[in-house]
Amino acid sequence: MSNVSELHAATANAAEYLAFTLGNEEYGIDIQKVGEIRSYEAPTRIANAPDFVKGVVNLRGIIVPIVDMRIKFNLGTPTYDQFTVVIILNIGHRVVGMVVDRVSDVTTLLPEQIKPTPEIGSALNTDHIVGLGTIDDRMLILVDIDKLMSSADMGLIENTALAA
């Protein structure tokens, strides 16, 4: 009987991540932040917006800013094809869309499958990286999407909105 309770205790600490691809890397974000996944449609451009903000879309009456993560992470010139999707995120009291190359699956990670982010030095800002999730031969870069979207250089979500 103890095996059942040990298994229950282990899975109680498990977390689910939506796995997506940007360039050659696979990332994961907390599934609880994801509202929906939509096919990519060209957003309406906003004058003087940063390059990574592609524009806005009207999502059932809500104006949603669309961020292209390939541009944000300097992963080359983005191409938009049938696999390109927009992940609609619910962060604080805001809704934001995030363009990614493709979504692969929802993965459950146990605490022992998450390794700490290695120290890379000050040249690279890794504040928004929670750790590295390992599943067999796959490695997911786990992103704290709240921290990333509320970072000063993104400017999309005020930190006060996250505290509320």
Q: Which two tokens stand for residue 89?
A: 């995120």
Q: Which amino acid is at 126?
A: T
- Phi (first) and psi of residue 22, to 5 degrees: -130, 115
Q: What is the Cα–Cα distance from 28 to 131, expressed in whole angstroms?
A: 10
Q: Is 120 helix (H, G, I), strand (E, B) or coil?
A: coil
Q: Give me the residues of the chain with pLDDT under 50, please.
A: 1-2, 4, 7-8, 159-164
Place of tokens 């009207």: 58
Whole-number pLDDT of residue 164 = 34
Which residues, in sequence order, are bridge partners of residue 89?
34, 96
Which of 141, 160, 157 shows the shortest CA–CA distance to 26? 141
Q: What is the pTM of this model?
A: 0.83
For residue 158, the tally of other CB atoms under 10 A from its CB is 13
Whole-number pLDDT of residue 128 = 86
- Using an 8 Å Cβ cutoff, are 143 and 33 in contact? no
Q: What is the Cα–Cα distance from 130 to 3, expressed in whole angstroms?
A: 30
Whole-number pLDDT of residue 88 = 97
Whole-number pLDDT of residue 119 = 72
Whole-number pLDDT of residue 73 = 86
- Using an 8 Å Cβ cutoff, are 91 and 147 in contact? no
Domains of the chain with bracketed CATH: 8-149 (2.40.50.180)
Query: Which residues have C-beta within 8 Å of that of residue 27, sequence separation ≥ 6?
Result: 19, 20, 21, 100, 140, 141, 142, 143
